[in-house]
Structure 1
């Protein structure tokens, strides 16, 4: 029996009290820009900042390698400049993958905290009913 996320959200809202449902509505899905800005917060923000700076440096180096590649007259020089540009692309891709994985990790942590909050509210209801 498969249900979409909207159906599950509706079931959760029906179970919650009115006050809890309003609080649940306030905890909305963050936009891509909010997820990206979360990477630059916390204890590892210096790694994210240095990765971003390195990405821009590699972009400039990639542009330089591309210009030199097209201006090269010998095959050996073309291979060297092409390899340099390819290396820049690979390193940039790795840095971007790291950033996306950080965004995903932060999003998963947010969902786990949401579950912890729901578990805490459920345990309070169980204690009150006894």
Structure 2
């Protein structure tokens, strides 16, 4: 892939080089942080704030669960902790499809640049 990248970079004009920089493959953490920018960045912020609150609530319920001495309060706190932790995990995992879509869009931009280079 590096050979193709170098050929594309050499063939592009200076104004097209900025487009090429935008299509560099990002790592997992860079893709994750990239979700906080752009038109839908606010959605990611809301999801992460709600997810963080649910996680902290789950931790608080778990602490109360482990401190309970009777069965009914332990059941109440344990179920609450489990539900909040699972909901927080589900919210965090809801960002994975958007990260995959961003990877695909970047690769499509690379293919477009390759086709423009040949045409």
Smaller-chain TM-score range? Answer: 0.7 to 0.9
Q: Deviations over 1:2-36 (max 9, x none)?
A: xxxxxxx266368x377139x6x965421223211
Paired with 1:38 and 1:44, the residues of 2 have a C-alpha distance of 11
Count of aligned positions: 113
Q: Deviations over 1:56-112 (max 9, x none)?
A: 111210111011101212212111111111111111111121122221211111111
Structure 2: 5+ residue stretches without partners: none
Q: Which of these residues, 33, 36, 42, is aligned with residue 38 of structure 2?
A: 42
Paired with 1:10 and 1:98, the residues of 2 have a C-alpha distance of 32
Paired with 2:39 and 2:8, the residues of 1 have a C-alpha distance of 36
In the superposition, the TM-score normalised over structure 1's length comes to 0.73
- Structure 1 vs Structure 2 CA RMSD: 2.5
Q: Which of these residues, 4, 8, 32, is aligned with residue 12 of structure 1?
A: 4
Larger C-alpha radius of gyration, 1 or 2?
1
> Does 2:66 correspond to 1:70?
yes
Residues 1:17 and 1:92: Cα distance change in structure 2 (over 3 Å)? closer
Where does 1:12-31 land on structure 2 (aligned, <5 Å)? 12=4, 16=7, 19-20=10-11, 28-31=24-27
Contact 1:38 1:106 in 2 (8 A): no
Relative contact order (alpha carbons < 8 A, sep ≥ 6): 1 or 2 greater? Answer: 2
In the superposition, the TM-score normalised over structure 2's length comes to 0.79
Paired with 1:70 and 1:122, the residues of 2 have a C-alpha distance of 65
